[in-house]
Chains A and B, each alone.
Chain A
Amino acid sequence: MELLYVCIGGFFGAIARFLMFNVFAKKERATLFVNVSGSFLLVLFMPYMTTDWQQLLIAIGFFGAYTTFSTFTLDAVQLAKTSKKEAALYVVRMLSYSAVAMLVAYMLDSMLRR
Chain B
Amino acid sequence: MSNRLSHRVVAALVVGCGGACGVALRYVCIASFSGAALFVANIVGSFCLAYLHERVSGKRNEQVIRLFVMTGMLGSFTTFSSVTYDAFVLFQQSILRGFMYVVVMTFCCIVAAIGGTVVGKR
Q: A2-B27, A3-B24, A42-B85 are in contact. Are A77 and B75 (CB under 8 A)?
A: no
Cα distance A11–B75 when bound, in Å? 12
Contact A68 B75 (CB under 8 A): yes
Near A by CB (< 8 A), chain B positions 1-57 give 8, 11-13, 15-24, 26-27, 30, 42, 45-46, 48-50, 53
Cα distance A99–B85 when bound, in Å? 10
Rounded to whole Å, the gap between the CB of B85 and the closest CB of chain A is 5
Contact A65 B75 (CB under 8 A): yes
Contact A42 B16 (CB under 8 A): no
Give chain A's interface secondary structure class.
helix
Contact B24 A39 (CB under 8 A): no
Give chain B's interface secondary structure class.
helix
Contact A74 B49 (CB under 8 A): yes
Cα distance A89–B117 when bound, in Å? 20
Residues of B close to A17: CB separation below 8 A:
15, 19, 71, 75-76
Contact B27 A102 (CB under 8 A): no
Residues of B close to A15: CB separation below 8 A:
12-13, 15-16, 19
Asked if A53 is at the interface of the complex by the 8 Å CB criterion, the answer is no
Chain A interface residue count: which class? 35 or more
Interface string of B76-118 (1 = CB under 8 A from A): 1111111111011001000000000011011001101110010
Residues of A close to B79: CB separation below 8 A:
63-65, 67-69
Identity of the chain A residue whose Cβ is nearest the Cβ of B107 in the assembled complex: A91
Identity of the chain B residue whose Cβ is nearest the Cβ of A91 in the assembled complex: B106
Residues of B close to A50: CB separation below 8 A:
none
Contact A13 B88 (CB under 8 A): no
Identity of the chain B residue whose Cβ is nearest the Cβ of A5 in the assembled complex: B27
Cα distance A27–B52 when bound, in Å? 17
Contact B45 A69 (CB under 8 A): yes
Ranked nearest first, the 6 interchain pairs of A and B with the lowest CB-CB distance are: A14-B19, A10-B23, A65-B76, A39-B84, A67-B80, A69-B78
Cα distance A68–B82 when bound, in Å? 10
Q: A11-B16, A73-B50, A102-B88 are in contact. Are A95 and B102 (CB under 8 A)?
A: yes
